[in-house]
Amino acid sequence: MSVLEDLAMAVGPKHVLAGEAAKDDYHHDESLTVPAVCPLAVVLPGSTEELSGVLAAASRHRVAVTARGSGTGMSGACTPVDGGIVVSFERMSRIIEIDQANHVAVVQAGVQLDQLDSALAPLGLMYPVYPGEYSASLGGNVATNAGGMRAVRYGVTRHQVVGIRCGGKVAKLSSGYDLTQLIAGSEGTLALVTLAYLRLYPRPAFNATLLAPFSTLEAVAAAVPTVVGSGIGPSILEYVDMLTMAAMTAHSGIDLGVADEIRSTALAYLVVGLEARSETRLEEDAEAMAELLAKAGAMEVYVLPPGSAVQLIEAREKAFWVAKANGADDVLDVVVPRAAIPAFMAAVAEVASSTGSLLPGCGHAGDGNVHLAVFQPDPETRHEVERRVFEAGLTLGGAISGEHGIGRAKRDLFLELEDPAKVELMRRLKAAFDPLGILNPGVTL
């Protein structure tokens, strides 16, 4: 029996898309550097049982399997292998249960963030991980350990996933190795996620967004630990440099009401989101935060009207598209301890000037996660730029990626720069989970 026939036995012939039917969208994600690849077939299982059949067929034929959620990843991690299959979770997109007593949602891997949010909002609940692209799937979020703007308050995906097949609705667990956490962030290289148990939170009733321009990038970065340490607990703490802010506001046409003389001299901005259960509490927090930002050197502090606040957050979430439209050659998301952001940014400025590259950025400053757009068209110089930027992050106690993952895009530099002992242990874990080496080969390792 051919592979395609075997797969068709598992899911039914109309759920195996080959040739023209395996449309271009399945060939790539949003990485700017990883080339698209047409797979042998795209397979659409409708249940865990069907997925088991698909994996059994792939094992028999030794065919590479690349899981795919919504294809919004930034590191080429769901780009298929030539001759391999893509397993798309679009038919497994049911919210199985919203358990309000235990504050847990049970969802199939193909459920999208916006779909879950629409189901939770009427119940006054939220799932607090908001990476910038809400069409992303929960399976993809688990596999990349997605972060986003609210991680400064709520943590990233792994802090909200209480179970997959292992784990469950329990609030804590100390029963052997935590396999759920091993799968989180494993980019489809160890296992395929069919179901996730997600922690839910009450939806905050009141929100405010403050915008603070600073005269230097270093001053913004230096203010971050003070804001985090204030006890006010911001839900969003983003920095945006001057070039990125200009591009974002021009692209989305927002007027943030920043005075001309400040706009022309500010080199970077801090965006602080606050949330509270009562209006009075929110006002007190906003006032205290504004004072703190002014003391930390802000040129001015604006409490944005709700309309512009929403537009600014949306524009920040879409900053990637603006960078792409302006011709960025790559996007990086190095993470460093947050107090090391100034040192990291100084190293980045040195790399940019010594290589003739432009490295503007913005990022989840509260988490030390710096997103840089790389404008350097020459591939060799760009490789050098990225190696030096990654080295700078690692030297400061950080990591190559804070949330986008290693994928195919950063694999070579990951293997070159990471601790070899850690990489070897990862290889042994990979072999234990995937002895045939068919799960997303070439990703991460």
Ligand X SMILES: Cc1cc2nc3c(=O)[nH]c(=O)nc-3n(C[C@H](O)[C@H](O)[C@H](O)COP(=O)(O)OP(=O)(O)OC[C@H]3O[C@@H](n4cnc5c(N)ncnc54)[C@H](O)[C@@H]3O)c2cc1C
Which positions touch ligand X (CB under 6 A)?
29-30, 66-74, 77-78, 89, 109, 131-133, 136-137, 139-141, 143-144, 146-148, 187-188, 192-193, 317-318, 320-321, 403-404, 440, 443
Q: What is the distance, to the nearest Å, from the Cα of residue 265 to the centroid of all Cα atoms in its chain? A: 31
Tell the smallest beta-carbon distance from residue 5 to ligand X (Å): 25
Instruction: Give every CB contact of residue 305 below 8 A, 6+ residues apart in sequence.
Output: none
Q: Compare residues 296 and 334 and give the one whose CB is closer to ligand X.
A: 334
Q: Which of 363, 366, 362 is nearest to 337 (CA)?
A: 366
CB burial of residue 354 (10 Å; 0-12, 13-18, 19+):
exposed
Least distance in angstroms from the C-beta of 114 to ligand X: 12
List the alpha helices (DSSP H) in 12-101: 48-61
Query: Taking Cα atoms as reference points, which of 404, 302, 422, 391 lies closest to residue 363?
Result: 404
Q: Which is nearer to ligand X, 188 or 213 (CB)?
A: 188
**Residue 303 phi, psi dihedral angles, 5° rounding:** -95, 115
Cβ distance to ligand X smaller for residue 218 or 275: 275
Please identify, using beta-carbon distances, which residue of 81 and 292 lies nearer to ligand X: 81
286 vs 405 by CB, closer to ligand X? 405
Q: In what order do the strands lie in the sheet with 161-163?
A: 95-99, 104-108, 195-199, 161-163
In the bound state with ligand X, the residue whose beta carbon lies nearer, of 139 and 393, is 139
Side-chain-side CA neighbours of 382 within 13 Å: the count stands at 17
Angle between helices 217-228 and 279-295 (to 10 degrees): 140
CB atoms within 10 A of CB 363: 27
Show Cβ contacts of residue 229 under 8 Å, excluding neighbours closer than 6 positions: none
Round to whole Å and give the CA distance between 354 and 6: 55
* Least distance from ligand X to the Cβ atom of residue 31, Å: 9
Q: How far is the CB of 355 from ligand X (least distance, A)?
A: 26
Shortest distance in whole angstroms from residue 360 CB to ligand X: 16
CB of 235 to ligand X, least distance (A): 14
CB of 231 to ligand X, least distance (A): 25
Whose Cβ is closer to ligand X: residue 186's or residue 357's? 186
Nearer to ligand X, 57 or 286 (CB): 57
Own/partner contacts of 52-57, CB < 8 Å, gap of 24 or more, are: 53/9, 53/10, 53/11, 54/7, 54/10, 54/11, 54/85, 54/87, 55/192, 56/10, 57/3, 57/6, 57/7, 57/9, 57/10
CB of 445 to ligand X, least distance (A): 12
